[in-house]
Chain A
């Protein structure tokens, strides 16, 4: 009997998650629509003072992305916990850390990466110049990946809680504030003609830090809630 290696397991779980996600395309699209909708609210709320909009564009983009990512996070472990498949994954002989990494990466692919893909649309609406798009994509990519890791901890902690979603935001958003600071600052700087590498490097550092430690914390969180 040949045991399945960790990378094979990782791939199997990622494929499973992607399959599940694409069989429910509406749930895939909802956060994206939410992202577009929140950014629409700002021009309406600002009564079309476009100069103002131009100034706050990066911040609005980042806040909207942050909130949209929060929406899909709650389901990261909750669905599997409710139908009992999480226990099966936990007992699959690979350890929860591998499962957490696989599920979080898959989640990031369908939420974070998708946000990055639609961000040019939103950026155009927010009057962010095209020259800033590469930096924006980089900041959103790094930021959303780090956020997915933080979110995995939060989702793991709240999976057994009575009321999940608000609690999840309450837990994760304070931890995510540094991401917002650096992410929005990077776009801000490049629009202002400055050098965005500083905040991007800091963001990359945070992302690396989260990628290294968060899987273990999230696995520990899941272990607590599985008991």
Chain B
């Protein structure tokens, strides 16, 4: 019953499928991001409190969302690879980690840039940004654990388990940091992220979110191809592929 699944998860099939999907993802991402950027930066009305400074939300919010989404997808792929011993899952997790970490860095940088006009300082231990920072540490742990073993397969599995443990911890960290921040809140500081947004502001944000997701999918496919190739470098199909390429 599961044979079709294993066939689909076989490295050559994944390599081909990822290669086919990547341009579609990236193309759609370019469209969505282009619309979001133009509408968000040029046409959406300025915020009544923050003026034009709020427009960084169009980069900040999607990257913060993607940082979490990439972590969960990494843990999911790793968990599947761990339980059902599907090696491609490790390749997906390994491909996803640096992308997710990059989104985390982007969210941190844009968040502190946003903080400058809002709080007068780049870093004010805002709970969301603090959680984001801890998430970056989690990424760092997973990525360095993967590379810490002589045997690549062992590093893969250890990193997968750590990612799963991290996913269980992410909500705990999130809520404890919120609780921590609520302790010593003096004058109400404006928090990043708006609960209610005017539709004219919201549409470009949703477009950016969609665009970032598609971009993640596209880059993941491309990185996955690289991962699969380097992991399968001894396999016959990779040699044949390389031979075919060099003859062409």
Contacts and interface: CB of A to CB of B under 8 A. Distances in A.
Interface of A: 153, 157-158, 160-163, 167, 170-171, 173-175, 177-178, 181-182, 185, 202, 206, 209, 213, 217, 220-221, 224-225, 227
B6 interface: no
Contacts of B149: 160-162
A224 B158 contact: yes
B150 A217 contact: no
25 contacts: A153-B165, A160-B149, A160-B154, A161-B149, A161-B158, A167-B141, A167-B145, A170-B141, A170-B144, A171-B162, A173-B137, A174-B141, A174-B173, A177-B177, A178-B169, A178-B172, A178-B177, A181-B176, A181-B177, A182-B176, A185-B180, A202-B176, A206-B172, A221-B158, A224-B157
**Among B141, B162, B166, which residue has the most Cβ atoms of chain A within 10 A?**
B141
A181 B179 contact: yes
Interface in B222-241: none
| Secondary structure type dominating chain A contacts | helix
B137 A174 contact: yes
Given A161-B149, A162-B149, A224-B157, A185 B183 contact: yes
A163 B173 CA distance: 27
A30 to B, nearest CB: 24
A220 B83 CA distance: 11
A5 B234 CA distance: 48
Contacts of A158: 145, 148, 158
Contact of A178 (B158, B161, B166, B173): B173
Interface of B: 134, 137-138, 140-141, 144-145, 148-150, 154, 157-158, 161-162, 164-166, 168-169, 172-173, 176-177, 179-180, 183
Contacts of A167: 141, 144-145, 148
A52 to B, nearest CB: 16
B104 to A, nearest CB: 12
A173 to B, nearest CB: 7
A217 B145 contact: no
Contacts of A181: 176-177, 179-180
B161 A170 contact: no
A162 B158 CA distance: 13
Contacts of A177: 134, 173, 176-177
A85 to B, nearest CB: 20
B158 A225 contact: yes
A148 to B, nearest CB: 15
Given A157-B161, A158-B158, A173-B137, 9 more contacts: A153-B162, A161-B145, A161-B158, A163-B148, A174-B169, A182-B179, A221-B158, A225-B158, A227-B154
